[in-house]
Every structure is written in C-alpha cells, then in structure tokens.
Structure 1
Amino acid sequence: MKVFFPPPNRRLGPVDVLGLVGLTGLLIGRYVPVAKLIPFWGCILRETTGWPCLGCGLTRVADRVAHFNFIGAWEANPMGTVAALLFALAAVVMLLHMAFKMPVPEVQLSPREWTWVRVAFPILLFINYAYVVVKTKFPHLLT
C-alpha cells in the first residue's frame, strides 16, 4: 500500500464527494423522519416473506448514527454502521479539506491487496447478512 499526500488544495475529489453524500445522509437521518413521512418506506422483501434483505436496517443505522446511538446502529446492521461511520469520517475530512486546504491522502493498493479486498468483502457481507437474518428471524439465538 502506498500513501501519497498532494499539495494543499481545494479541488473536489472522491473523498469530498463521499463526504458530501455522507453529510447529507446523516443530516437527513438526524432531522427528517423518512420512515414516518413516506408511506411505502420499508423492506418489501421482509414485509412479504418475513426474511430481511441485504440492506435491512440501513435506515435505522443512519438514524441511530446521526443520533450517536452506535450500539443500536450496530444491532440493526453492523456493516451498515461501519459504512455510516466511514461516511461521517469522510464528511469531517471533506470539511477540513475545503475549509483549510488540508491535503487528502491518496491510497494506492497493490494488485495483491486488491485481491484480498475482493475476497474479504463478500465474506464480510455474508457474515453481516447472516447476523441480520439471525437477529430478525431467530433473535433467541443471540441471547
């Protein structure tokens, strides 16, 4: 892994875009009760079959992370919580970058490291989904 630090600038980059998306999502999660305002909001798969989808719990994660309830967010969807916290970190980096010209490091992974990412991500996704299924359908197994 190689890390590069560009000269101070205010150019919009990928981390800034992710930070803007994260900031917008967390502000909506904090101040807009989306699940209560939109009548059709919810997981159609879960409502029809009783089984959760891969994204079940992400609205609760955004709401709980925005309200600093990290334990509740983790219980709703662990991988979603990690993603929400990374979006929040990107938002902080974006604000520092745009306000103070803080250089945003650029990370470059080797082909071997990318292979590890491509192998680990589906495994983590499977483990996360298994947790969400057990939490939804068989909660007595977690007590």
Structure 2
Amino acid sequence: MKVFIPPRNRRLGTVDYMGLMGLVGLLVARYIPVARIIPFWGCVLRERTGWPCLGCGLTRVADRVSHFNFEGAWEANPLGTVAALLFALAAVAMVVHLVFAVPIPEIRLSAKEWRAFQVVMPVIVLVNYAYVVVKTRFPHLLL
C-alpha cells in the first residue's frame, strides 16, 4: 500500500463526493423521519418471509448514528455502522479539504492487496449478514 499526498488544492475528488453523500444522508436521517412518513418504507423480504435482507437495519443505523447512538446502530447492522461512520468521516474530510485546502491523501493498493481486499470483503459481508439473520430470527443464540 502506498499513500500519496497531493499538493494543497480544492479540487473535488472521490472523498468529497462520498462526504457530500454522507452529509446529506445523515442530515436526512437526523431531521426527517423517513420510515414514518413514507408508507411503503421497509424491507419487503422481511415483511413477507420474516428473513432479513442484506440491507436490513440500514435505516435504523443512519438514524441512530445521526443521533450519536452508536451502540444501537451497531446492534442493528455492524457493517452498516462502519459504513455510516466512514461517510461521516468523509464529510468531515470534505469540509476540511474544501474550506482549508488541506489535501486528502490517496491510497493506492498493489495488485496483491487489491486481490486480498476482493476476497476479504465478501467474507465480511457474509459474516455481517449472518449476524443480522441470527439477531432477527434467533436472538436467543446471542448472549
């Protein structure tokens, strides 16, 4: 892994766009009760079968992270909590970058590291999904 630090700039990049999405998403989660005002909001798979989908809990995660309830967010969906916190971090980095022209470091992975990432991420997603399924369907198995 190599870290490259560009010169001071205010050019929009990937982190800035992710930060903007994270900022908007967390502000919506904080101030607009989407799950209450949209009648069809919810997981259709879970409503019909009782089994959660891969994204079950993400609305609760966004709501809880935006209210600083990290423990509740973690219980709803651990990987979603990590993603929400990374979006929040990207939002902070975006503001610092655009206001103060602080450069955002670029991380470049080698081919071997990229292949390892491609193997590890699906495993992490499956472990997270297994946790959500157990939490939803078999909560007595968790202590």
Alpha-carbon offset, residue 105 of structure 1: 0.3
Distance 2:91 2:81 in 1: 15
Q: Which residue of 2 aligns with 1:125?
A: 125
Distance 1:124 1:64 in 2: 22
Distance 1:7 1:115 in 2: 29
Q: In structure 2, what residue type is equivalent to 1:128?
A: N
Give the length in aligned residue pairs: 143
Q: Which residue of 2 aligns with 1:3?
A: 3
Alpha-carbon offset, residue 99 of structure 1: 0.3
User: Counterparts in 2 of 1:46-85, with a 5 A limit?
Assistant: 46-85=46-85
Distance 2:139 2:44 in 1: 21
Q: In structure 2, what residue type is equivalent to 1:77?
A: N
Alpha-carbon offset, residue 16 of structure 1: 0.1
Aligned CA-pair RMSD = 0.4
Alpha-carbon offset, residue 11 of structure 1: 0.5
Distance 1:138 1:104 in 2: 43
2:26 is aligned with 1:26 = yes
Alpha-carbon offset, residue 34 of structure 1: 0.4
- TM-score normalised by the chain length of structure 1: 0.99
Q: In structure 1, what residue type is equivalent to 2:24?
A: T
Alpha-carbon offset, residue 49 of structure 1: 0.3
SS in 1 for 2:10: coil
Gaps of 5+ in 2: none
SS in 2 for 1:39: coil
Q: Which residue of 2 aligns with 1:111?
A: 111
Distance 1:33 1:140 in 2: 30
2:36 is aligned with 1:36 = yes
List per-residue Cα deviations over 1:91-115 (Å, max 9, x = no partner). 0000000000000001100000001
List per-residue Cα deviations over 1:33-64 (Å, max 9, x = no partner). 00001000000000000000000000000000
- TM-score normalised by the chain length of structure 2: 0.99
Alpha-carbon offset, residue 133 of structure 1: 0.2
Q: In structure 2, what residue type is equivalent to 1:122?
A: P
SS in 2 for 1:46: helix
Gaps of 5+ in 1: none
Which structure 1 residue ranges, 4+ long, deviate > 4 Å from structure 2?
none
SS in 2 for 1:107: strand
Q: In structure 2, what residue type is equivalent to 1:111?
A: A
Distance 2:112 2:82 in 1: 24
